[in-house]
């Protein structure tokens, strides 16, 4: 177990604590722990690349930690009425489709590699920014104007775009593998 994987595990273990803090209306603590978890997502990747310590475990563990963090916090913020239900459904549905698609692709092809698409990275950053903004505004009781509404629409667009690209990419790869098998 290397340092990047330990950081990723730390992020994963933060998830239930952040959920509890939100449900307990401790938004300032939830905000700061969430920020630490979000920063750890970048830090583990930077360390893994810089010190050539990328592992197969890390390639699978990192997206699991990301999905657990994002889906859990979106569901919780939706539950306490801080994020619109339609956006929560969209974000969670996209992640379920991606996880289900990854499992299906691995089952059918036995060749899944975890390589996030660029739009997926943009989507993750926007989803993290949305959560951070919601928690910050709730913690410090700030009038957001239209910031959250605008962020919500940006998250919606990147979520649809990213989900569509994953489905299209995996479908093309699976079709190419099927064609290759028939030869």
DSSP string, 12-36: HHHHHHHHHHHHTT-HHHHHHHHHH
Taking Cα atoms as reference points, which of 65, 64, 75, 86 lies closest to residue 131?
75
The answer on pLDDT for 112 being more than 70 is no
156-161 mean pLDDT: 97
Q: What is the pLDDT of residues 50-101, one digit of tens each?
A: 998 889 889 889 989 999 999 999 999 999 999 999 999 999 999 999 888 8
134-160 mean pLDDT: 96
Contact 110, 104 (CB under 8 A): no
- Which pLDDT band holds residue 154 (cuts at 50, 70, 90)? very high
Contact 120, 166 (CB under 8 A): yes
The reported pTM is 0.90
If you ran DSSP here, which 8-state letter would residue 144 be given?
A: -
Other CB atoms closer than 10 Å to residue 78's CB: what's the count? 18
Percent above pLDDT 90 for the chain:
69
Contact 84, 151 (CB under 8 A): no
In sequence order, what are the residues at sequence separation of 6 or more whose Cβ sits closer than 8 angstroms to the Cβ of residue 103? none
How high is the pLDDT of residue 103? 81
Domain locations in the chain as residue ranges: 3-182
11-24 mean pLDDT: 98
36-56 mean pLDDT: 92
120-137 mean pLDDT: 96
3-state secondary structure of 52: coil
**What's the Rg (C-alpha) of the chain?**
18
The answer on pLDDT for 7 being more than 90 is yes
**Whole-angstrom distance, CA of residue 44 vs CA of residue 50:** 10
The answer on pLDDT for 43 being more than 70 is yes
How high is the pLDDT of residue 115? 73
Task: Name the class of domain 3-182.
Answer: mainly alpha
């Amino acid at each position: 177990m290397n340092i990047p994987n330990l950081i990723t595990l730390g992020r994963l273990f933060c998830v239930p604590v952040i959920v509890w803090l939100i449900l307990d209306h401790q938004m300032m603590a939830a905000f700061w722990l969430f920020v630490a978890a979000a920063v750890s997502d970048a830090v583990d990747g930077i360390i893994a690349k810089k010190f050539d310590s990328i592992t197969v475990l890390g390639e699978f563990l990192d997206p699991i930690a990301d999905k657990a963090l994002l889906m859990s916090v979106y569901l919780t913020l939706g539950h306490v009425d801080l994020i619109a239900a339609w956006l929560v459904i969209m974000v969670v549905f996209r992640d379920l489709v991606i996880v289900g698609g990854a499992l299906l692709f691995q089952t059918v092809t036995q060749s899944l590699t975890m390589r996030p698409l660029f739009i997926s990275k943009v989507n993750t950053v926007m989803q993290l920014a949305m959560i951070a903004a919601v928690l910050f505004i709730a913690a410090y009781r700030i009038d957001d104007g239209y910031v959250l509404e605008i962020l919500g629409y940006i998250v919606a667009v990147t979520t649809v775009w990213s989900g569509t690209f994953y489905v299209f990419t995996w479908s093309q790869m699976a079709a190419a593998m099927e064609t290759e098998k028939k030869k």
